[in-house]
Amino acid sequence: MIIHQDITKTMAHAYIFPGQGAQFTGMGQLLYDNNPAAKDLFEEANDILGFRLSDTMFTGTDESLKQTNVTQPAVFLHSVASFKNIPDAKPDMVAGHSLGEFSALVANQVLSFGDALRLVSIRAGAMQRACELNPSTMAAIIGLDDAKVEEICRHVANEAGEVVVAANYNCPGQLVISGSLRGIELACGQLKDAGAKRALVLPVGGAFHSPLMLPAREELAQAISEITFNNPICPIYQNVVAKGISDPEMIKENLISQLTGPVKWTQCVQAMIADGATEFTECGPGKVLQGLVQKINKEMITNGMS
């Protein structure tokens, strides 16, 4: 007996979008110079923000691009312009790493470009203010099981009374932690003692995806309550739940929770693969997410649009 298997239902194309840290000087200039539609999008962003973001993207210094109120809109703009530059792009599923969720929500038509950019700008400003309220940072932990990292974070938090949590599950063996300056210092020491290959404090000005972002979460929640979220054309695999979501109200809740909750990127990619993803296209600056997908499952097809 010959069994004919319908593989069309199990093969899906996922579009993924990077977050803060992917920026570089010159980002987006080729799109601006060579694509009239992209140029219009950049100029629309400049008008919405009230300053020429594109100038900073094209010719700004590394330091100017690291400013949160610049970085987040810049990565978002580049990512959306890259996606829109793909002829007849039809995602079966989307996901974004942290900030990248806003780009993903434009790609699956939940948010308009203008509304998403306004939310990104509010989010960036709120996160910057939260950073100034609570001196804090993040650290990349390499070569240790997630469960061990989580255990040590809990131990430091309980023993020292400091905030320190697992923040970014990037791929197996790479987990970023987030917390107070003292909490991160103590955790890094104990994680090295536990066998971590590296425990590297990152050059960031705050504890993203931790309880220290609560003031920013409240500000973002208010802004989100005033924006229309449409029904998506495909599910978004959201960071805090690591599964495909299509209900606009749930998408809102998860987007708000993300500021103080972890980015479960490993789990999101695994869930997309379980639901049929065989190809991942990264839209935006850099190739970081393509690399992470390959580390999560080397059999996946990965490519990028920048």
Q: Rounded mean pLDDT of the chain?
A: 94
Q: Pick from 201, 219, 234: which residue ends a domain?
A: 201
Q: Are residues 222 and 101 in the same domain?
A: yes
- Residue 2 belongs to a domain: no
169 occurs within a structural domain: yes
CATH number at residue 11: 3.40.366.10
Per-residue confidence (pLDDT) for residue 21, from 0 to 100: 87
Same domain, 113 and 149: no
pTM tops 0.85, yes or no:
yes
Catalytic (active-site) positions: 98, 209
Q: Which residues pair with 199 in a beta bridge?
A: 141
Show Cβ contacts of residue 275 under 8 Å, excluding neighbours closer than 6 positions.
Answer: 12, 93, 244
In a domain, 206, yes or no: no
The span from the CA of 238 to the CA of 143, in Å, is: 25
Residue that is last in its domain, among 201, 227, 243: 201
Number of domains in the chain: 2
Helix, strand, or coil here: 167?
Answer: strand
Out of 178, 201, 224, a domain closes at: 201
- Pair 162, 242 in one domain: no
Answer whether residue 12 is part of any domain: yes
Cβ atoms of 265 and 242 closer than 8 Å: no
Q: What is the CATH number of the domain that holds 197?
A: 3.30.70.250
| 142, 119: one domain | no
> Quick check: is 127 in a domain?
yes
Q: Kindly state whether residues 182 and 34 are assigned to the same domain.
A: no
31 and 127 fall within a common domain:
yes
Would 166 be classed as within a structural domain? yes
Same domain, 189 and 253: no
Within 10 angstroms of residue 141's Cβ, the number of other Cβ atoms is 27
Q: For the segment 91-134, what is each residue's pLDDT rounded down to a tens digit?
A: 999 999 999 999 999 999 999 999 999 999 999 999 999 999 98
30 C-beta neighbours (distance < 10 Å), count: 13
Same-domain status, 125 and 139 = no
Q: Are strands 198-201 and 93-96 parallel, antiparallel or unpaired?
A: unpaired
CB neighbours of 199 closer than 8 A, spacing ≥ 6? 139, 140, 141, 142, 187, 188, 189, 191, 192
pLDDT in tens, the chain (306 residues): 333 333 344 689 999 999 998 999 999 999 999 999 999 999 999 999 999 999 999 999 988 888 888 999 999 999 999 999 999 999 999 999 999 999 999 999 999 999 999 999 999 999 999 999 989 999 999 999 999 999 999 999 999 999 999 999 999 999 999 999 999 999 999 999 999 999 999 988 799 999 999 999 999 999 999 999 999 999 999 999 999 999 999 999 999 999 999 999 999 999 999 999 999 999 999 999 999 999 999 999 999 998
Cβ atoms within 10 Å of 59's Cβ, excluding its own: 11
Interhelix angle 113-133/36-49, rounded to 10 degrees, is: 50
Q: Are both 19 and 128 inside the same structural domain?
A: yes
The parent domain of residue 259 ranges over 7-132+211-305
Q: Quick one: 144 and 262 in the same domain? A: no
Q: Kindly state the DSSP code that residue 121 receives in the 8-state scheme.
A: H
Domain match, 122 and 45 both: yes
Instruction: Please check whether residues 68 and 107 belong to one and the same domain.
Output: yes
Question: Considering the domain boundaries, does residue 116 fall inside one?
Answer: yes
